[in-house]
Structure 1
Amino acid sequence: MGEPQMRSRVLEAVTDSALRELDLHKLFEVLLLQVRELFVVDTVTVMLADTGGEQLVTTAAAGLEEEVFQGVRVPVGTGFSGQVAQRRRPLQIDHVDESTVSSPLLWQRGLRVLLGVPMVAHGELTGVLHVGRTDYRPFTDEDVDLLQLVADRLATAAHAHRSRSARAAAAILQESLLPSRLPTTEGWQMAARYVPGTDSGVGGDWYDVFHLPGGRIGLVIGDVVGNGLAAAIVMGRLRSALRAYALEFPDPAEVLGKLDRKASHFERHTMATVAYAVIDPAASRLEFALAGHLPPVLAVPGRPAAFVDAPVGPPIGYDLAVTGRTGADVEVPEGALVALYTDGLVERRGQDLDERLELLRRAVAPMPAEAACVRVMAELVGDQAAPDDIALLTVRHNPAA
């Protein structure tokens, strides 16, 4: 097949509109079979980068299906495929053994020549596409260019699939971790809102309410830096860890200190702001600690609402609180309401944060918890979609009948 004819057939294959109707694995199957025929090769393999971008995982193959069945993985930077991924440029080798490739299946298959090209979409490495021959026919520069066209098409499809899957998984995970029903406690009323941002889709914002020993109530609101599935996963881990520490340690500042140590050690590239509070119904007091989080608003009957005066420690992660963490406490008399929130409620591009905070302060009033949520969301969100996630939690100490 001449080069012009070859290029024409490859372009026809990668631009076929019928491919848009296929799911990712079927698209891989169709294109890999076409590549095997067009390039006259014995093997065609797609290795996708894992979510951390540190390993390549064999995902689809034609002629070397056992790599898929056996779950072959290659660290980025190691072996033939790992070098293609690390350098993000094509690589051809004509000596296939343990000194040049990581997977024994390649030389056991009798391959003599390998050509690999990177799969990159939107500046992100999605994987590596490589082809192999059992004879010593080298690949031409034209082969390299045409295989890269195929890799670009596969990369775009893989990136879109991963984005859709990650968004759906993050939404499901977040929904499963947010309380479906807030616990009821005599004399106390609670309500909440969670709205995913239009820019982030879904991310690491969360709120939580739970009963603690001694009749106390734990309240949490937090925001993991980042968005998407990665942030939602970290949020889930922090949520579970905080609940566990809350059962063991009564002091909110100590709980956040333990959470910080855990996150700094096990979630090394994570940062989150968290407000953790404990209500003691018998004493009508709220004890709390802030890790880089905006302070709650307290509205007491007969007084203007105000931000609670308390020390704001560093965010969770990166061992920032080297001098320890401190908390505060405040009285919550009958009829009073406390509002905890994430920064997505008050931060807007091009708008002054202090003005937005003042708008929030004026919106919070000593009213039923659900009515307070309605009022705050109406005043600060209204009919304009927020770019970032919003979490809001209101707690009211019911007045005596």
Structure 2
Amino acid sequence: MAKDIERARKQELAIHKIIADTVSQPLDLDKLLDTALEKIMEVMNVDTGGIFLLEPETGQYVLRRHSNLTEQFIQEMGRVSLGEGCTGTAAKTGEIYCAFAMAEREYLCEDAERLMGIDCLAAAPIMVAGRAVGVIELFAPSARRISDIEADMITTIGNQIGIAIENTRLYQETKQNVTKLSKLKNQLEQTNTTLRRHLDHEAYIAETLQKGLLPLELPKLEGYEIAARYISATKEASVGGDFYDFIPVEKNVAIVVGDISGSGIETTTMSSMLKNTTRAFALEDATPSDVINRANNVLFKEAPPEKFATAFYALLEPEKGKIAYANAGHPSALLAKRDTNVIEELPQCSPALAITESLDCAQREITLNSGDVLTIFTDGLIEVRKNKTFFGLERLKDEILGQPSII
């Protein structure tokens, strides 16, 4: 009896060492299983065994690591279903399946006897959260039977291995996810690089097209001082839909300032369409109202549905100082009168272009006197911000009247 107790204590210490060795293994499943199987066979004094793990895709238990199993056994019993053989029975019941010292049956496992000439000593489930994720199966001659104490030890080992397997699975799953995320990050960076190149190329094309929309030189008219400036409010808006043009019409000069919604090549292309359309109609000696209305007809048919444009078209008669203008949805031009030091707004005559198929933009007329200043601009000028404050229309008026505001 004393020898049995001493032997049990030694086996218990050996069990704790197995558990410690198993849990301390690197988070590599195959290494963990190799260590666990080696130590279990050592403490149980057997040299034949294997560890089966659940294959989630099929629901079967597959022989993952083994020692001294015959090829015939591996081929026939290397994959078993729930409830099949000793392994499947242990997995199904969640309890150790073994023959104790007083077992009535000569052989517990006919397959093991048939394929290897030895018997199944024990098949112990590896449990995780109440589910068998694997089975430890040990083999020995049929004369060798395990005791209750040994059965408890194998069960304990199985449970501890289950924890280690689950930790390893989570580690490997996390590692795989990190690897996937790393690959996705690299792919995203490559995509972003390609996209930036594409956008830079597109921006270059759009900028080139936009520069072609602006006149190379300004008209020179006796008695008039004409100035023009094109500056983007932000770097992002460097390629937009704004443009201006001066069109000689016999002795007169047509002035066009337009703005297309959006930015990029499509917007710049639509700006070119509007510029060329207004120029073509202007050269037919049409009135400002006719030019704007006919330009709307073209843009409504040709422009993308989400696009629209605003335009201020003015026809100047230099000898008389008269201006006839049509304003389609564009910010009101500002006429600063020298004699009164007051600014008049030249309001819109109609909604923007390309919104409705038919447009009725009625023109209006003004007269420029000596010293008067006419300022035509796009909304970008008054919507530019500094410290979250818009420049605004009133500040623009102050600048025109020589009363600069600080922003």
How many residues get paired?
A: 228
Q: In structure 2, what residue type is equivalent to 1:299?
A: A
The C-alpha deviation readout for 1:246-299, integer Å capped at 9, x for no partner, is: 112431111111111101101133211110101012221111011111111112
Work out whether residues 382 and 390 of structure 2, in 8 Å CA contact, stay in contact via their aligned partners in 1: no
Task: Tell me the SS of whatever aligns to 2:228.
Answer: strand
Q: Could you state the TM-score of these two structures normalised by the residue count of structure 2?
A: 0.51
The reply to whether residue 276 of structure 1 matches residue 313 of structure 2 is yes
> CA 1:148–1:357 in structure 2 vs 1: closer, same or farther (change >3 Å)?
closer
> CA 1:358–1:173 in structure 2 vs 1: closer, same or farther (change >3 Å)?
same
The reply to whether residue 295 of structure 1 matches residue 332 of structure 2 is yes
Work out whether residues 322 and 367 of structure 2, in 8 Å CA contact, stay in contact via their aligned partners in 1: yes
d(CA) in 1 for partners of 2:239 and 2:208?
Answer: 10
Q: In structure 1, what residue type is equivalent to 2:200?
A: R
Instruction: Look up the match of 1:305.
Output: 342
The C-alpha deviation readout for 1:225-262, integer Å capped at 9, x for no partner, is: 11122222211121111100111243111111111110
Work out whether residues 242 and 259 of structure 1, in 8 Å CA contact, stay in contact via their aligned partners in 2: yes
Work out whether residues 331 and 347 of structure 2, in 8 Å CA contact, stay in contact via their aligned partners in 1: no
Q: In structure 1, what residue type is equivalent to 2:324?
A: E
Task: Tell me the SS of whatever aligns to 1:222.
Answer: strand
d(CA) in 1 for partners of 2:342 and 2:295?
Answer: 30
The reply to whether residue 344 of structure 1 matches residue 380 of structure 2 is yes
d(CA) in 1 for partners of 2:345 and 2:285?
Answer: 23
Aligned pairs for 1:118-267 (under 5 A) are 152-198=188-234, 199-213=236-250, 215-267=251-303
Task: Tell me the SS of whatever aligns to 1:218.
Answer: strand
d(CA) in 1 for partners of 2:184 and 2:381?
Answer: 45
Work out whether residues 307 and 361 of structure 1, in 8 Å CA contact, stay in contact via their aligned partners in 2: no
d(CA) in 1 for partners of 2:183 and 2:334?
Answer: 59
> CA 1:237–1:311 in structure 2 vs 1: closer, same or farther (change >3 Å)?
closer
d(CA) in 1 for partners of 2:197 and 2:307?
Answer: 25
C-alpha displacement at 1:145, in angstroms? 9.7
Quick check: which has more Rg, 1 or 2? 2
d(CA) in 2 for partners of 1:304 and 1:289?
Answer: 24
The C-alpha deviation readout for 1:294-342, integer Å capped at 9, x for no partner, is: 111112222123133444311111226x451111010111222211011
Q: Could you state the TM-score of these two structures normalised by the residue count of structure 1?
A: 0.51
C-alpha displacement at 1:211, in angstroms? 0.9
C-alpha displacement at 1:147, in angstroms? 9.2
Aligned-pair RMSD on alpha carbons?
3.0
Work out whether residues 296 and 339 of structure 1, in 8 Å CA contact, stay in contact via their aligned partners in 2: yes
The C-alpha deviation readout for 1:171-214, integer Å capped at 9, x for no partner, is: 2222222112101122222001100231322211111112112x
C-alpha displacement at 1:149, in angstroms? 7.2
> Which among 333, 350, 355 is matched to residue 318 of structure 1?
355
Instruction: Look up the match of 1:41.
Output: none
Give structure 1 stretches of 5+ with no counterpart: 1-143, 366-374, 385-401
Give structure 2 stretches of 5+ with no counterpart: 1-179
Aligned pairs for 1:82-101 (under 5 A) are none
Q: In structure 1, what residue type is equivalent to 2:339?
A: G
d(CA) in 1 for partners of 2:246 and 2:184?
Answer: 52
The reply to whether residue 361 of structure 1 matches residue 394 of structure 2 is no
> CA 1:298–1:334 in structure 2 vs 1: closer, same or farther (change >3 Å)?
same
d(CA) in 2 for partners of 1:351 and 1:150?
Answer: 40
C-alpha displacement at 1:148, in angstroms? 6.9
d(CA) in 1 for partners of 2:294 and 2:262?
Answer: 22
d(CA) in 1 for partners of 2:354 and 2:184?
Answer: 41
d(CA) in 1 for partners of 2:185 and 2:262?
Answer: 32
Work out whether residues 328 and 348 of structure 2, in 8 Å CA contact, stay in contact via their aligned partners in 1: no
The C-alpha deviation readout for 1:98-121, integer Å capped at 9, x for no partner, is: xxxxxxxxxxxxxxxxxxxxxxxx
Identity of aligned residues (%): 25
